[in-house]
Amino acid sequence: MGPEVLEKVGVILVKNVLTGEMVELKSLWKEKTSVLFFLRRFGCQICRWTAKEISKLKESFSANDIQLIGIGPEDVGLKEFQDGNFFNGEIYIDESKQSYKDLGFKRYNALSVVPAALGKKVRDVVTKANADGVQGNFTGDLLQSGGMLIVSKGGEKVILHFIQDSPGDHVPLETIVKTLGISANVTESQAPQCNEDVCTR
Protein backbone atom coordinates (compact mmCIF):
# COMPACT_ATOMS: atom_id res chain seq x y z
CA MET A 1 0.00 0.00 0.00
CA GLY A 2 1.51 3.29 -1.12
CA PRO A 3 1.65 6.61 0.76
CA GLU A 4 -0.99 8.08 -1.54
CA VAL A 5 -3.56 5.55 -0.28
CA LEU A 6 -2.67 6.38 3.33
CA GLU A 7 -3.13 10.08 2.58
CA LYS A 8 -6.50 9.39 0.94
CA VAL A 9 -7.68 7.23 3.85
CA GLY A 10 -6.24 9.66 6.39
CA VAL A 11 -8.77 12.42 5.68
CA ILE A 12 -11.80 10.15 6.17
CA LEU A 13 -13.88 11.17 9.18
CA VAL A 14 -14.59 8.59 11.89
CA LYS A 15 -16.66 8.97 15.05
CA ASN A 16 -15.26 8.42 18.55
CA VAL A 17 -17.93 6.27 20.22
CA LEU A 18 -17.24 7.68 23.69
CA THR A 19 -17.33 11.38 22.82
CA GLY A 20 -19.27 11.42 19.56
CA GLU A 21 -16.50 13.61 18.13
CA MET A 22 -15.71 13.27 14.43
CA VAL A 23 -11.97 13.08 13.73
CA GLU A 24 -9.81 12.43 10.70
CA LEU A 25 -8.44 8.91 10.57
CA LYS A 26 -4.86 10.22 10.31
CA SER A 27 -5.22 11.86 13.72
CA LEU A 28 -5.26 8.34 15.20
CA TRP A 29 -1.67 7.67 14.18
CA LYS A 30 -0.36 11.22 14.49
CA GLU A 31 1.19 10.78 17.95
CA LYS A 32 1.69 7.01 18.20
CA THR A 33 2.12 3.90 16.11
CA SER A 34 -1.41 2.54 15.80
CA VAL A 35 -2.92 -0.89 15.30
CA LEU A 36 -6.31 -0.36 13.62
CA PHE A 37 -8.56 -3.41 13.73
CA PHE A 38 -11.42 -3.07 11.22
CA LEU A 39 -14.35 -5.19 12.38
CA ARG A 40 -16.86 -6.61 9.94
CA ARG A 41 -19.63 -5.82 12.43
CA PHE A 42 -20.01 -5.66 16.20
CA GLY A 43 -22.33 -8.67 16.42
CA CYS A 44 -19.97 -10.94 14.46
CA GLN A 45 -18.84 -13.87 16.63
CA ILE A 46 -15.48 -14.11 14.86
CA CYS A 47 -14.91 -10.34 15.18
CA ARG A 48 -15.66 -10.51 18.90
CA TRP A 49 -13.28 -13.43 19.40
CA THR A 50 -10.54 -11.70 17.36
CA ALA A 51 -11.10 -8.49 19.35
CA LYS A 52 -10.61 -10.44 22.61
CA GLU A 53 -7.48 -12.06 21.22
CA ILE A 54 -5.82 -8.84 20.09
CA SER A 55 -6.77 -7.19 23.39
CA LYS A 56 -4.34 -9.63 25.04
CA LEU A 57 -1.58 -7.51 23.48
CA LYS A 58 -2.81 -4.24 25.00
CA GLU A 59 -0.29 -4.29 27.84
CA SER A 60 2.61 -4.90 25.46
CA PHE A 61 1.29 -2.21 23.12
CA SER A 62 1.08 0.32 25.96
CA ALA A 63 4.60 -0.54 27.13
CA ASN A 64 5.86 0.22 23.62
CA ASP A 65 3.79 3.39 23.09
CA ILE A 66 1.50 1.69 20.56
CA GLN A 67 -2.23 2.26 20.61
CA LEU A 68 -4.97 -0.23 19.84
CA ILE A 69 -7.98 1.06 17.94
CA GLY A 70 -11.11 -0.72 16.75
CA ILE A 71 -13.10 0.59 13.81
CA GLY A 72 -16.62 -0.53 13.01
CA PRO A 73 -18.73 0.21 9.93
CA GLU A 74 -21.92 1.07 11.85
CA ASP A 75 -23.38 1.58 15.33
CA VAL A 76 -25.53 -1.57 15.17
CA GLY A 77 -24.53 -3.95 17.98
CA LEU A 78 -22.05 -1.51 19.53
CA LYS A 79 -23.59 -1.44 23.01
CA GLU A 80 -23.67 -5.22 23.29
CA PHE A 81 -20.08 -5.32 22.04
CA GLN A 82 -19.00 -2.81 24.70
CA ASP A 83 -21.02 -4.52 27.44
CA GLY A 84 -19.32 -7.82 26.58
CA ASN A 85 -15.88 -6.26 27.12
CA PHE A 86 -14.61 -7.87 23.93
CA PHE A 87 -12.13 -5.10 23.13
CA ASN A 88 -9.59 -3.23 25.23
CA GLY A 89 -8.93 -0.24 22.98
CA GLU A 90 -10.57 2.90 21.65
CA ILE A 91 -13.48 2.39 19.27
CA TYR A 92 -14.47 4.51 16.29
CA ILE A 93 -17.17 4.20 13.65
CA ASP A 94 -16.73 4.88 9.94
CA GLU A 95 -20.36 5.48 9.09
CA SER A 96 -19.50 6.19 5.44
CA LYS A 97 -17.57 2.88 5.18
CA GLN A 98 -15.21 4.83 2.93
CA SER A 99 -12.08 3.63 4.75
CA TYR A 100 -13.23 0.04 4.24
CA LYS A 101 -13.64 0.70 0.53
CA ASP A 102 -10.33 2.53 0.10
CA LEU A 103 -8.40 -0.12 2.03
CA GLY A 104 -9.78 -2.89 -0.17
CA PHE A 105 -12.02 -4.56 2.41
CA LYS A 106 -14.47 -6.17 0.03
CA ARG A 107 -18.20 -6.53 0.30
CA TYR A 108 -19.76 -9.90 -0.22
CA ASN A 109 -23.00 -10.32 -2.08
CA ALA A 110 -25.90 -12.55 -1.12
CA LEU A 111 -24.45 -15.42 -3.16
CA SER A 112 -20.79 -15.14 -2.14
CA VAL A 113 -21.36 -14.66 1.59
CA VAL A 114 -22.86 -18.11 2.19
CA PRO A 115 -19.92 -20.24 0.97
CA ALA A 116 -17.50 -17.81 2.69
CA ALA A 117 -19.39 -18.18 5.98
CA LEU A 118 -19.38 -21.97 5.73
CA GLY A 119 -15.66 -22.35 4.96
CA LYS A 120 -13.12 -24.21 7.08
CA LYS A 121 -11.40 -21.04 8.34
CA VAL A 122 -14.72 -19.79 9.70
CA ARG A 123 -15.55 -23.14 11.30
CA ASP A 124 -12.13 -23.28 12.97
CA VAL A 125 -12.48 -19.82 14.53
CA VAL A 126 -16.10 -20.45 15.55
CA THR A 127 -14.91 -23.57 17.40
CA LYS A 128 -12.34 -21.47 19.29
CA ALA A 129 -14.89 -18.73 19.99
CA ASN A 130 -17.44 -21.25 21.32
CA ALA A 131 -14.75 -22.80 23.53
CA ASP A 132 -14.00 -19.32 24.93
CA GLY A 133 -17.69 -18.62 25.51
CA VAL A 134 -17.83 -15.91 22.84
CA GLN A 135 -21.17 -15.79 21.05
CA GLY A 136 -22.46 -13.58 18.25
CA ASN A 137 -25.62 -12.59 16.43
CA PHE A 138 -26.76 -11.73 12.95
CA THR A 139 -27.60 -8.06 13.43
CA GLY A 140 -26.12 -5.40 11.18
CA ASP A 141 -24.45 -5.49 7.78
CA LEU A 142 -23.64 -9.14 7.08
CA LEU A 143 -21.86 -8.46 3.80
CA GLN A 144 -18.94 -6.26 4.87
CA SER A 145 -15.46 -7.73 5.34
CA GLY A 146 -12.67 -6.19 7.38
CA GLY A 147 -8.97 -6.39 8.13
CA MET A 148 -6.14 -4.61 9.86
CA LEU A 149 -3.93 -1.61 9.28
CA ILE A 150 -0.82 -0.87 11.33
CA VAL A 151 0.63 2.59 10.75
CA SER A 152 3.84 3.98 12.24
CA LYS A 153 3.79 7.17 14.28
CA GLY A 154 3.13 10.22 12.15
CA GLY A 155 2.01 8.07 9.22
CA GLU A 156 5.59 7.56 8.07
CA LYS A 157 4.85 4.08 6.79
CA VAL A 158 2.32 1.29 6.68
CA ILE A 159 3.73 -1.55 8.77
CA LEU A 160 0.92 -4.00 7.93
CA HIS A 161 -2.09 -3.90 5.61
CA PHE A 162 -4.16 -7.06 6.01
CA ILE A 163 -7.31 -7.71 3.97
CA GLN A 164 -9.70 -10.50 4.92
CA ASP A 165 -10.34 -13.01 2.17
CA SER A 166 -12.63 -15.18 4.29
CA PRO A 167 -14.62 -13.95 7.32
CA GLY A 168 -12.47 -16.38 9.33
CA ASP A 169 -9.21 -14.66 8.35
CA HIS A 170 -7.32 -12.79 11.07
CA VAL A 171 -3.74 -11.80 11.80
CA PRO A 172 -2.20 -14.20 14.36
CA LEU A 173 -0.97 -12.50 17.53
CA GLU A 174 2.59 -13.69 16.97
CA THR A 175 2.56 -12.05 13.53
CA ILE A 176 1.41 -8.73 15.01
CA VAL A 177 4.11 -8.89 17.70
CA LYS A 178 6.82 -9.83 15.18
CA THR A 179 5.73 -7.17 12.68
CA LEU A 180 5.88 -4.49 15.36
CA GLY A 181 9.21 -5.75 16.68
CA ILE A 182 7.99 -6.00 20.26
CA SER A 183 7.90 -8.85 22.76
CA ALA A 184 4.78 -10.27 24.35
CA ASN A 185 3.98 -13.41 26.32
CA VAL A 186 0.76 -14.23 24.54
CA THR A 187 -0.49 -17.25 22.68
CA GLU A 188 -3.65 -17.45 20.66
CA SER A 189 -6.53 -19.40 22.15
CA GLN A 190 -6.71 -22.91 20.80
CA ALA A 191 -9.72 -25.00 20.05
CA PRO A 192 -10.15 -27.73 22.68
CA GLN A 193 -8.76 -31.13 21.74
CA CYS A 194 -11.37 -33.79 22.37
CA ASN A 195 -10.71 -37.47 22.79
CA GLU A 196 -13.29 -39.96 24.07
CA ASP A 197 -15.52 -37.17 25.44
CA VAL A 198 -12.62 -35.55 27.34
CA CYS A 199 -11.61 -32.09 26.11
CA THR A 200 -8.36 -30.35 26.96
CA ARG A 201 -7.13 -26.91 25.96
The model's pTM is 0.88
Mean pLDDT of 40-52: 96
CA 12 to chain centroid, in Å, comes to: 18
**Minimal CA–CA distance to 95: which of 81, 113, 67, 76?**
76
pLDDT at res. 1: 67
- Amino acid identity of residue 128, one-letter, is K
Task: Return the closest-CA partner of residue 152 out of 5, 62, 33.
Answer: 33
* Sign of the Cα pseudo-torsion (147, 34, 128, 47, in order): negative
CA angle, corner 119, sides to 117 and 124, nearest 5? Answer: 100
C-alpha angle 101-104-105 in degrees, rounded to nearest 5: 75
**Phi, psi torsion values for 16, nearest 5 degrees:** -75, 120
Per-residue confidence (pLDDT) for residue 5, from 0 to 100 = 83
Domains and CATH numbers, the chain: 3-200 (3.40.30.10)
What's the mean pLDDT in 148-161?
Answer: 96
Residue 195: is its pLDDT beyond 50? no
Q: How far is CA 133 from CA 33, 107, 138, in A?
A: 31, 28, 17
Q: According to the model, what pLDDT value does residue 189 have?
A: 64
Which tens digit of pLDDT belongs to each residue from 64-78? Answer: 999 999 999 999 999
The answer to whether residue 188 scores a pLDDT higher than 70 is: no
In this prediction, residues 126-141 reach a mean pLDDT of 89
